[in-house]
Structure 1
Amino acid sequence: MKLIQRIGYYLGGFSIGLIILAFFLNGKKASCSYGPDARVLKNINSKKIIYNDVIFEYISHNIIDSTEIRRILKKGDINFSDSDPRHKPCGIYLVEGEFDEKDIVITVENCEDTATVTDLKIEKP
């Protein structure tokens, strides 16, 4: 059997395997969150999120919307150098994101059952 035929058989079997995997994993909530940022954000978003009174003031004055806060908590970056993950009883994380070309820093207190958004800072570029 020639090399080109071997490559053809390999690619054919590989593509059939990918189609079968896509069929079985379609609709499943499988994710590959291996990085530290992704793991912590997934942990925060899997819990009930509670907003502090300061955050409700931002929302009531239409400075930022709760959906934007949720988006930053899903897609943001965690600043581990300023965070305190070993704080007792709940770890404190600073999540950075962007909204309307402004940098947003959200402070989240990540407890065992809940995640409380305690502070929000809007930094103009």
Structure 2
Amino acid sequence: MQFKFRLAYYLFGFMIGGFLMYYIFNGKGAEFCYLPNCRVKKNIREKGLTISKEAQQTLKAGWVTQTDVDNTILYGDVDFSRSKKPLKTGGKLYIIEGKTINNQPIDVEVANFEDKAILINVKKR
């Protein structure tokens, strides 16, 4: 059999397999989350975010909203060079870089414990 026919059969089978996999795994909530950035943010989102008093004051100031913080935790990038610092209370500090709705860069500081995540502060970059 010629190469072009073998290639056509391969691509046809690959396409059918791809469609089947898409429909099988589409409704199950499966996601690819094996990279460190994704794993940290998913871990924080699953625990829920408790807001500290300092962070509440920052949110009340008005230049940043809870939506901005949530979007940063969902779409932002974890800065590992400044993160993973152990805290005296037992957790680890993670700094997530993101932007507000007004496109202003912010840093969200989150203390990640085994059973909870605490929003420590939100700072302008």
TM-score w.r.t. structure 2 length? 0.88
Written as runs of structure 1 = structure 2, the 5 A alignment for 1:8-87 is 8-87=8-87
**Tell me, which stretches of 5 or more residues in structure 2 are unaligned?**
none
Q: Tell me, in whole angstroms, the C-alpha distance in 2 between the residues paired with 1:34 and 1:84.
A: 18
Counterpart for residue 93 of structure 1: 94
Between stretches 113-122 and 86-95, larger displacement belongs to 86-95
Q: Unpaired runs of 5+ in structure 1?
A: none
Runs (4+) of structure 1 moved beyond 3 Å? 84-88
Cα offsets for 1:25-79 (capped at 9, x unmatched): 1122212122221111111111121011122223233221111101101111112
Q: CA 1:19–1:84 in 2, change beyond 3 Å: closer, same or farther?
A: closer
**Counterpart residue identity of residue 94, structure 2:** Y
Identity level (%): 31
Q: Tell whether the 8 Å contact from 1:59 to 1:65 is kept in structure 2 after alignment.
A: yes
TM-score normalised by structure 1 residue count = 0.88
Render the CA deviation track for 1:70-124: whole Å, top value 9, x for unaligned. 110111111222223444511111111122232211110001111100111113x
Aligned residues: 123
